[in-house]
Structure 1
Amino acid sequence: MNRLEGKVAIVTGGAQGMGASHATRFVSEGAKVIITDINEEAGKTLEKSLGKDAKFIKQDVTKKEDWDKVVKEANDTFGQIDILVNNAGISVNKPMMEMTEEDYRRIVDINQVSVFLGTQAVVPTMTELGKGSIVNVSSINGLVGGAVGYTDTKFAVRGFTKAAALQLAPLGIRVNSVHPGVIETPMIKQGDAAEQIKAFSKFIPLQRVAQPEEITELVLYLASDDSSYSTGSEFVADGGLTAQ
């Protein structure tokens, strides 16, 4: 407990799913957390449940002005920023030849450009502190092939992580990427998706999908000082899928 005592974190896409798991655990470990999301209703509900150590800010992660607002409010409310978890992301479930340019650019903006904007936004504050940890949530599709658009951007997040880590290391800022496999969220419990995931589980060496909290443990490690000598690396939690 208290692995994040005295630290302030920003978690994007934090109102639900894995993001909510990260934010909740961070608060339980002593952090003060800025939760950002476009889902205002879910974000305010989570803020209320977490109490005074959490603040929700509605944010479009693709807009620089929204990042400026989030960083200002984080500093004004909690006094500093020690951790950024770039968790927001989407996928468009269409074959490449059915995907529009608008579809593709939307994936790139949310999954990739937002990571650049977020990193750029928090660096000045982290530089003043002389330290910081940025955790970029990629995917196993940042290591192996998958859907067009999603895979492209998740590989880009992995590459950006390495480039940013090298530039920011002299400032004491660490940057790492997390690569989850299949995670059990409300989305995959519905309709045909549930049956598809159940059938797919037999191809996972551990024979099951992950719970959001299992990925949170990895994100927590990278956010905390426990990972003080880790930067520019990818951390995989996929039940053994990419080991095959």
Structure 2
Amino acid sequence: MGRVSGKIALVTGGGSGLGAADCELLAQEGATVVVTDVRIETAEAVAQRIGSGAIAIALDVASEQSWIAVIAEIDRRFGRLDILVNNAGVVLVADVEQTTLEQFRWVNAIMSEGVFLGCQHAIPLMNKGGGGSIINMSSTGALLGYPIYLAYSAAKGAVRSMTKSVAVMCQVKGYKIRCNSVHPGAIETPMVQEAEGRIGIEEQVAEGVLPPDAKGHPRDVANMVLYLASDESRFVTGAEFVVDNGLTIRPF
């Protein structure tokens, strides 16, 4: 307990799936968590489950004005930001021939531009408080070729590269801010359920070591986020952490 005690954390897309798991674990380990989501009712539900260690704020990650307002509110309430988890995401099942330009721009506005805006607007507040940790949610989609997730993979690839650029910039400028990316494989979340055509139908994830074709639990990713958010990872920046049960290394 207490691995991020006293820290202020902002999690985007915190109303469900990986984001909700991140919020809950960070709060359990002592952080005050700002749960944000474009659907404020889902963010409020997560914050209520957590209790006094969380507040909910509406955030449209694709809107710069929304980011400005949320960062200003965090500054007003806490005067600092120590952890940013750029987690918000959407999925579009379509290959390059099926994806429209409008759809491509929509997906990238949320998961590429949204991460850019998050980093850009959070860094000054992190510097005000003496530094922090930015954790960008990428995917194995940035590392493998998934034909039917063209726009999603493009956005996650941008997140991977952007993370490294931000990490180096912070070091060069002397900012005490680290920036890393997390690359989950298939995790049992509402997004995966939607992509597999089983909305609302949840599969149980077993305990212990899992077989190659199993899905992970959101907590598997949250544990990595917690490590990167904590001071335990002080010597880690610009790195990519694959949480995929060996998917990306299997030759078959």
Question: Does the 8 Å contact 2:91/2:195 carry over to 1?
Answer: no
Question: Does the 8 Å contact 1:68/1:121 carry over to 2?
Answer: yes
- TM-score normalised to structure 2 length: 0.89
Matched with 1:151 is 153
> 2:115, 2:223 → 1: CA distance?
21
> 1:148, 1:7 → 2: CA distance?
36
Which aligned segments of 4 or more residues in structure 1 are displaced greater than 2 angstroms? Answer: 186-195, 204-207
Once the two structures are superposed, residues 150-175 of structure 1 have per-residue CA deviations (whole angstroms, 9 ceiling, x without a partner) of 11111110000001100012211000
Q: Structure 1 residues 65, 213: CA separation in 2 closer, same or farther (over 3 Å shift)? A: same
Matched with 2:183 is 179
> 2:73, 2:150 → 1: CA distance?
36
Q: Is 1:212 aligned to residue 218 of structure 2? A: yes
Q: Structure 1 residues 67, 228: CA separation in 2 closer, same or farther (over 3 Å shift)? A: same
> 1:189, 1:91 → 2: CA distance?
11
Question: Does the 8 Å contact 1:4/1:29 carry over to 2?
Answer: yes
Quote how far apart the aligned CAs of 1:96 are: 2.1
Unaligned runs of 5+ in 2: 205-209
**One of 232, 235, 238 as aligned partner of 2:244:** 238
Other structure's SS at 1:149 match:
helix
Quote how far apart the aligned CAs of 1:95 are: 2.7
Q: Structure 1 residues 175, 92: CA separation in 2 closer, same or farther (over 3 Å shift)? A: same
> 1:152, 1:40 → 2: CA distance?
27
> 1:173, 1:99 → 2: CA distance?
36
Unaligned runs of 5+ in 1: 199-203
The answer to which structure has the higher helix fraction is 1
Matched with 1:22 is 22
Other structure's SS at 1:96 match:
coil
Quote how far apart the aligned CAs of 1:142 are: 1.1
State which drifts further: 186-195 or 228-237: 186-195
Quote how far apart the aligned CAs of 1:130 are: 2.6
- TM-score normalised to structure 1 length: 0.92
Question: Does the 8 Å contact 2:163/2:181 carry over to 1?
Answer: yes
What percentage of residue pairs aligned between the two structures are identical?
A: 41
Q: Structure 1 residues 223, 188: CA separation in 2 closer, same or farther (over 3 Å shift)? A: same
Other structure's SS at 1:15 match:
coil
Once the two structures are superposed, residues 39-95 of structure 1 have per-residue CA deviations (whole angstroms, 9 ceiling, x without a partner) of 122111112221222111111101111111111111222231000000001121123
Matched with 1:36 is 36
What is the aligned-residue RMSD (CA, Å)?
2.0
**One of 164, 189, 201 as aligned partner of 1:162:** 164
> 2:22, 2:220 → 1: CA distance?
10
Matched with 1:201 is none
